[in-house]
């Protein structure tokens, strides 16, 4: 997308949010012009581009040169932190200096922050929640919820809409319940009409929630609190603190400013709440993170989507060429759908479309199907800001169909590099920016589909706008539930199900990218202990490709025992392979084949269970969140997470956190290591240079962070009655853990100590709590056990139902031959079978294509006669040498089942007959290539024609499988 000019006001707002002093607009304008002149359309500023900008600044005379240098640093800071640009290495120290200067400014106001915090601790906030003034409420929110800028809290009090652009209106701040946690959603400002809406989420304390709710209820629409009035009230609060803090009168002789107040609030969070600088920035700057809403898919969606698990289009493994557009014909089903929308009642059509069964992907060209699904979703769900789009709008959004490059086959769509090339061609070939925007919207939809979710659409975004974050996160039990579904499916082969489940688990626990999972080799996965739950993963360049940042790294992983045993099982199955063998898939399997057959099912199951918005890459987001929870829990010595699922709780114990960071701690307690680099250590595990990149793109929301820094608080009974009401407060006080803190005759001044979670639970039962909007993650039925996943896979291998094989689209189905028997899988585990032989058999027998003996082949077997086993790996069959039998022979013995057999022919001809005719028939009808033919003349008896088969692989079980299939 065409690069747009940076906006000075956005840079100044960001600096104000960080507590830094901005310069005049003219200085920024000069730098912005230079950056637009020397940078390209990517989010990268190279040293070569930076040098002419610095040369221009040096040519400037006097003090303006100094101001332009500061302006350059400010603009680059904005590009690096907000727009996620990669900048030259020489600028790294500049950003450290900027953060240091910001922290110095924060500490300059630590005295004011300490005085305000002392007043906060003494004041009976809970008892006065219904009568707080605006300035008091904002101080409470800034101390208990987040140290946000004054203007942001002012907008919260007013419930102003976010400044939405274009036809869509902005959205109001709202209180929502996420996983039984009270949260406040703050929508990010929209800086361009084509920027996607996003929001941040903060945890609300019980007192802050009740106070804010009451303020909103009693607020008069005609009375809008202004920033000057608010600052006057805050200044009065400061003046009231002067008697106990005389130095405040000299430091703040003039009325307090919004910037000074903001810095003082940040000082409270840094000094009193003990937030390190980077986490303090997270709490103070909402634009550093994006949140999401969990989605609950319907049971019908889950049921129908799971039926398609492991299902690929017929002939998706064939290597045939894609027919040309002229032969193919140009049919666009979305146009028929738009015509139906124009002719039929919309409600009826939406109901029909919502009930449609999943569409099977065509093999030759998936573009028309993608356009149809795109149109169907716009009709059923509407747009980002409008629930129901007009017919003319839908026609406009889909008008790009004739300008998209075609064809794009199923194989090309499932290949990340080919899909990326196709998307770039589709985007760059548009004649103007308006058409590029329409294509970009379509590509965003494409990236949400299971087949094409590896498409990275960030490359098409304007680099001077904040990057659109695809925010979503899964819980640990969600991932294990998906693994169970992959392993228990009736579709797919046994090794395919195992590889898909292992790819899912490694993608989550290792927080790996798609390519990093597929490029893992056996030598890259090390388990220090044979029964341990720790793994060391080496992410490095292989023959299949390079890492994203062209650098290698080691990832240290701790996972539950059930997951660790499943990964170890796959390694054990491949124990006979060379160290450079890929962990996922067969030997010699291409990367595109692994994408289709192991990662595609993972995406299918995630979308089936948790909604179409979930992608494989969200496993990396979820793994990054778990990693940072473990690191912060370790740093804060906090391991009692109340809002986690059971499996996550196991991974957040002190023992699990110590094991995760054992590579860094080196058997030392956390207090003896340099905790200042903890965030960098965790970012390095993800392959990121900067924590800011990790924070904005991977760690969604901030509602989960304060729990690690919180402590139980003491409340008077009268304060609880003011917060909850007398009835709910009485019910809470009757709880055994609370009642034992009280005497026999409690009164309103008695004090009890409660955790925030106990107050949350009580608040959600009040009338106001029940009226809130709830977002609950899907419930899962995860069975806990040290070997549960392995047992699930083994049970499916033992009791696998018969599958049906179709030789062609019109052929009658026959029972598929399953060569991956349980006996073979056990033999691979104990080392009596070699995985290399299995891979050769897989390669020659059609790879992932199923095969079976058709009725014609069964008839041919009966016609040719019985099979005679003549040795450990040989068998033969004798029949009359004629043309009719040659057709039966080729129909049966030239199938995939015998691709690993060496064939030889022996003709025993009676001496009274010439063998020439039959020898010519054998060469013409039976033998292929250099297959040997021997002729023997017998003195008496009838002639005999024998075909011998020698199984070329050293695999007794595969040979037994072939013999069993013929008997």
User: Which residues are 874's β-sheet partners?
Assistant: 950
Q: Which CATH architecture has domain 457-712+755-801?
A: Alpha-Beta Complex (3.90)
Burial of residue 930 (number of CB atoms within 10 Å: 0-12, 13-18, 19+) = exposed
- Both tokens assigned to 517: 């999972």
pLDDT digits (tens, 9 = 90+) for 632-655: 999 999 998 888 888 999 999 999
Distance between CA atoms of residues 370 and 657, nearest Å: 44
Cα 613 to the center of its chain, rounded Å: 10
In this structure, of 70-84, 313-327, 334-348, the range with the lowest mean pLDDT score is 313-327
Better-scored residue on pLDDT, 748 or 379: 379
Q: Is the pLDDT of residue 197 over 80?
A: yes
Residue length, the chain?
967
Better-scored residue on pLDDT, 465 or 553: 553
Distance between CA atoms of residues 147 and 281, nearest Å: 9
pLDDT mean over 828-855: 92
3-state secondary structure 291-356: CCCCCCCCHHHHHHHHHCCCCCCCCCCCCCCCCCHHHHCCCCHHHHHHHHHHHCCHHHHHHHHHCC
pLDDT digits (tens, 9 = 90+) for 574-626: 999 999 999 999 999 999 899 999 999 999 999 999 999 999 999 999 999 99
Q: What is the pLDDT of residue 325?
A: 36
- Both tokens assigned to 790: 């392995």
pLDDT digits (tens, 9 = 90+) for 121-142: 998 888 888 889 999 999 999 9
Q: Which of 621, 629, 631 is nearest to 698 (CA)?
A: 621
Alpha helices for 159-225 (secondary structure H) = 206-218
Alpha helices for 124-185 (secondary structure H) = 134-144, 150-158
pLDDT digits (tens, 9 = 90+) for 784-795: 778 899 999 999
pLDDT digits (tens, 9 = 90+) for 541-562: 988 888 888 889 999 999 999 9
Q: Which CATH architecture has domain 855-966?
A: 2-Layer Sandwich (3.30)
Question: What is the DSSP secondary structure assignment for residue 172, as one 8-state letter?
Answer: B
User: How do the domains of the chain map onto residue ranges?
Assistant: 8-106, 109-288, 457-712+755-801, 855-966
Q: Which of 353, 440, 333, 334 is nearest to 395 (CA)?
A: 334
pLDDT digits (tens, 9 = 90+) for 471-495: 999 999 999 999 999 999 989 999 9
Bond preceding residue 875 cis, omega within 30 of 0: no
Distance between CA atoms of residues 534 and 663, nearest Å: 11
Percent of the chain's residues with pLDDT above 70 = 95
Entry pTM: 0.90
pLDDT digits (tens, 9 = 90+) for 240-267: 999 988 989 888 999 999 999 999 999 9
pLDDT digits (tens, 9 = 90+) for 410-428: 989 988 889 999 999 999 8
- Other beta carbons within 10 Å of 637: 11
- Both tokens assigned to 219: 């607020």
- Both tokens assigned to 185: 């959603």
Distance between CA atoms of residues 174 and 159, nearest Å: 8
Helix H or strand E segment including 67: helix 63-81
Better-scored residue on pLDDT, 642 or 517: 517
Distance between CA atoms of residues 160 and 173, nearest Å: 7
């Amino acid at each position: 997308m065409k690069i747009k000019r940076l906006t000075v006001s956005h840079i100044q707002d960001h600096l104000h949010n960080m507590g830094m002093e901005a310069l005049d607009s003219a200085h920024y304008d000069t730098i912005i012009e230079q950056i637009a002149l020397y940078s390209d359309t990517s989010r990268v500023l190279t040293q070569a581009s930076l040098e002419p900008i610095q040369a221009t600044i040096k040519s400037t005379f006097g003090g303006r040169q100094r101001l332009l240098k500061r302006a350059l640093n400010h603009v680059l800071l904005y590009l690096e932190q907000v727009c996620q640009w990669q900048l030259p290495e020489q600028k790294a120290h500049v950003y450290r200096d900027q953060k240091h200067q910001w922290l110095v400014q924060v500490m300059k106001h630590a005295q004011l922050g300490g005085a305000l915090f002392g007043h906060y601790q003494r004041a009976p906030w809970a008892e006065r929640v219904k009568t707080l003034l605006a300035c008091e409420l904002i101080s409470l929110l800034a101390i208990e919820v987040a140290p946000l800028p004054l203007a942001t809290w002012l907008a919260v009090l007013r419930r102003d809409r976010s400044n939405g652009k274009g036809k869509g209106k902005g959205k109001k701040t709202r209180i929502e319940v996420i996983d039984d946690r009270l949260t406040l959603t703050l929508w990010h400002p929209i800086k361009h009409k084509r920027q996607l809406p996003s929001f941040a989420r903060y945890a609300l304390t019980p007192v802050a929630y009740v106070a804010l709710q009451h303020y909103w209820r009693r607020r008069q629409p005609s009375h809008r609190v202004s920033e000057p009035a608010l600052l006057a009230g805050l200044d009065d609060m400061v003046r009231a603190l002067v008697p106990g803090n005389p130095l405040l009168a000299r430091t703040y002789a003039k009325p307090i400013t919004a910037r000074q107040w903001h810095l003082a609030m940040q000082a409270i969070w840094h000094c009193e709440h003990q937030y390190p600088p980077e986490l303090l920035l997270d709490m103070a700057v909402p634009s550093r993170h994006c949140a999401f809403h969990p989605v609950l898919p319907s049971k019908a969606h889950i049921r129908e989507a799971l039926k398609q698990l492991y299902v690929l289009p017929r002939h998706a493994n064939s290597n045939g060429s894609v027919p040309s557009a002229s032969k193919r014909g140009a049919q666009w089903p979305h146009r028929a759908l738009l015509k139906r929308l124009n002719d039929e009642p919309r409600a009826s059509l939406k109901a029909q479309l919502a009930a449609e069964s999943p569409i099977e992907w065509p093999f030759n060209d998936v573009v028309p199907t993608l356009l149809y699904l795109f149109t169907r979703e716009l009709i059923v769900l509407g747009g980002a800001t409008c629930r129901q789009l007009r017919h003319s709008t839908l026609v406009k959004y889909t008008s790009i169909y004739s300008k998209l490059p075609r064809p794009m086959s199923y194989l090309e769509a499932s290949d990340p590099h080919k899909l990326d090339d196709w998307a770039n061609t589709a985007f760059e070939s548009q004649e103007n920016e308006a058409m590029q925007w329409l294509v970009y919207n379509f590509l965003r939809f494409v990236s949400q589909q299971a087949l094409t979710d590896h498409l990275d659409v960030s490359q098409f975004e304007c680099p001077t706008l904040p990057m659109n974050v695809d925010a979503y996160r899964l819980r640990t039990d969600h991932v294990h539930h998906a693994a169970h579904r992959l392993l228990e499916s009736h579709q797919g082969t046994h090794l395919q199900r195992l590889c898909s489940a292992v790819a899912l688990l490694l993608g989550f626990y290792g927080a790996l990218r798609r390519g990093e999972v597929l490029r893992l080799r056996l030598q890259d996965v090390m388990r220090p202990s044979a029964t341990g739950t720790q793994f060391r993963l080496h992410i490095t360049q292989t023959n299949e490709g390079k890492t994203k940042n062209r650098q290698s790294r080691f990832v240290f992983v701790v996972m539950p025992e059930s997951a660790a045993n499943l990964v170890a099982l796959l390694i054990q199955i491949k124990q006979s392979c060379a160290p450079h063998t890929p962990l996922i898939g067969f030997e010699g399997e291409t990367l595109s084949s692994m994408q289709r057959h192991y990662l595609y099912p993972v995406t299918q199951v995630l979308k089936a269970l948790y909604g179409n918005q979930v992608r494989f890459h969200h496993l990396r987001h979820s793994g990054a969140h778990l990693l940072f929870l473990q690191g912060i829990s370790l740093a804060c010595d906090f391991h009692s997470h109340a809002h986690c699922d059971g499996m996550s709780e196991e991974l957040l114990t002190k023992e699990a956190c110590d094991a995760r960071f054992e590579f860094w701690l080196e058997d030392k307690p956390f207090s003896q290591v340099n905790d200042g680099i903890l965030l960098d250590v965790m970012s390095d595990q993800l392959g990121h240079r900067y924590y800011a990149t990790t924070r904005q793109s991977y760690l969604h929301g901030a509602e989960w962070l304060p729990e690690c820094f919180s402590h139980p608080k003491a409340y008077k009974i009268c304060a609880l009655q003011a917060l909850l009401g007398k009835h709910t407060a009485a019910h809470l006080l009757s709880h055994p853990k609370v009642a034992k803190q009280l005497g026999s005759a409690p009164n309103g001044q008695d004090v009890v100590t409660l955790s925030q979670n106990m107050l949350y639970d009580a608040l959600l039962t009040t009338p106001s709590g029940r009226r809130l909007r709830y977002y609950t993650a899907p419930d899962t039925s995860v069975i806990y056990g040290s070997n549960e996943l392995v047992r699930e896979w083994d049970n499916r291998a033992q009791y696998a139902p018969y599958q049906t094989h179709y030789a062609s689209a019109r052929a009658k189905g026959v029972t598929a031959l399953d060569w991956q028997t349980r006996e073979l899988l056990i033999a691979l585990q104990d080392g009596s079978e070699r995985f290399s032989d299995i891979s050769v058999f897989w390669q020659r027998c059609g790879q992932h294509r199923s095969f079976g003996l058709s009725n014609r082949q069964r008839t041919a077997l009966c016609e040719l006669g019985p099979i005679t086993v003549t040795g450990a790996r040989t068998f033969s069959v004798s029949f009359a040498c004629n043309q009719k039998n040659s057709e039966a022979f080729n129909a049966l013995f030239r199938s995939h089942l015998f691709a690993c057999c060496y064939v030889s022919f022996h003709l025993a001809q009676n001496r009274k007959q010439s063998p020439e005719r039959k020898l010519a028939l054998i060469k013409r009808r039976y033998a292929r290539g250099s297959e040997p033919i021997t002729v023997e003349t017998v003195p008496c008896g009838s002639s005999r024609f024998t075909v011998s088969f020698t199984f070329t692989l050293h695999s007794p079980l595969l040979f037994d499988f072939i013999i069993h299939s013929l008997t």
